[in-house]
Amino acid sequence: MKRRTVVGAVAGGATLGVAGCLTRDGNGDGNSNEGDGTLTVVTYPSMIDEENAAGPWLKEAFESEHPDAELEWKQLPDQRINHYIGQADGGGEIDADVYLGLNVDDLVAVDDNLADGGLFRELETDRLDRADRIRDGLDLGDPHGRALPYDTGYISLVYDESEVDEPQTFEDLTEPAYEDALLAQNAQTSDPGQAFLLWTIDAFGEDGYLDYWRELDENGVRILDDWSESYYGAYMEEERPMVVSYSTDQVFASAEGNDLTRHQIAFLNGQGYANPEGMGIFEDAGDVDLAYDFFDFVLSNEAQAEIAQRNVQFPAVDEEYVDLDEEFDKYAHVPPEAVTVGYDRLRGNLDGWVEDWAREFASQ
| Choices 228-236, 274-282, 284-292, 334-342 (CB under 8 A): range interacting with other proteins | 228-236
Shortest Cβ distance from residue 90 to other proteins (Å)?
5
Tell me if 355 contacts other proteins by CB under 8 A: yes
DSSP notation for 144-169 = T---EEEEEEEEEEEE-TTTSPPP-S
Quote the CA–CA distance of 225 and 42 in Å, as a whole number. Answer: 26
Comparing CB distances to other proteins, the nearer of 240 and 345 is 240
Angle, CA 346 vertex, CA 343 and CA 347 arms, to 5°: 80
How many CB atoms lie under 10 A from the CB of residue 244?
A: 27
| Choices 161-169, 251-259, 279-287, 317-325 (CB under 8 A): range interacting with other proteins | 251-259
Are residues 130 and 299 in contact, defined by beta-carbon separation less than 8 angstroms? yes
Contacting other proteins within 109-168 (CB under 8 A): 109, 113
Mark residue 220 as left, alpha or beta (left: phi above 0; alpha: psi -120 to 50; beta: remaining).
left
Binder among 70, 92, 219, 283 for other proteins (CB under 8 A): 92
Instruction: State in Å, rounded, how far the first CA of the chain is from the last one.
Output: 34
Give start and end residues of each alpha helix (H) in 271-325. 288-298, 301-311
- Between the alpha carbon of residue 221 and those of residues 179, 182, 190, 242, 353, the distances in Å are 8, 5, 16, 10, 19
Tell me if 348 contacts other proteins by CB under 8 A: no
| Helix 54-65 with 301-311: angle, nearest 10 deg | 160
Q: Are strands 98-102 and 242-246 parallel, antiparallel or unpaired?
A: unpaired
Comparing CB distances to other proteins, the nearer of 102 and 312 is 312
Shortest Cβ distance from residue 28 to other proteins (Å)?
9
Contacting other proteins within 164-223 (CB under 8 A): 180, 186, 188-189, 222-223
Contacting other proteins within 257-286 (CB under 8 A): 257-259
How many CB atoms lie under 10 A from the CB of residue 364?
A: 5
Quote the CA–CA distance of 151 and 304 in Å, as a whole number. Answer: 8
Q: What are phi and psi of 308, to 5 degrees?
A: -60, -45
Shortest Cβ distance from residue 164 to other proteins (Å)?
15
Tell me if 50 contacts other proteins by CB under 8 A: yes
Comparing CB distances to other proteins, the nearer of 37 and 220 is 220
Tell me if 95 contacts other proteins by CB under 8 A: yes
| Choices 142-150, 232-240, 285-293, 328-336 (CB under 8 A): range interacting with other proteins | 232-240
| Choices 47-55, 285-293, 315-323, 334-342 (CB under 8 A): range interacting with other proteins | 47-55
Tell me if 64 contacts other proteins by CB under 8 A: no
| Choices 81-89, 162-170, 197-205, 341-349 (CB under 8 A): range interacting with other proteins | 81-89
Comparing CB distances to other proteins, the nearer of 92 and 145 is 92
Shortest Cβ distance from residue 22 to other proteins (Å)?
5
Comparing CB distances to other proteins, the nearer of 14 and 115 is 14
H or E segment and range at residue 360: helix 350-361
Are residues 179 and 219 in contact, defined by beta-carbon separation less than 8 angstroms? yes
Tell me if 38 contacts other proteins by CB under 8 A: no
Per-residue x/- track, 5-34, other proteins (CB under 8 A): xx-xxxxxxxxxxxxxxxxxxx--------
CA pseudo-torsion sign 205, 207, 208, 210: positive
Are residues 199 and 155 in contact, defined by beta-carbon separation less than 8 angstroms? yes
Shortest Cβ distance from residue 291 to other proteins (Å)?
18
Tell me if 87 contacts other proteins by CB under 8 A: yes
How many residues of this chain interact with other proteins, rule: CB under 8 A? Answer: 88
Tell me if 323 contacts other proteins by CB under 8 A: no
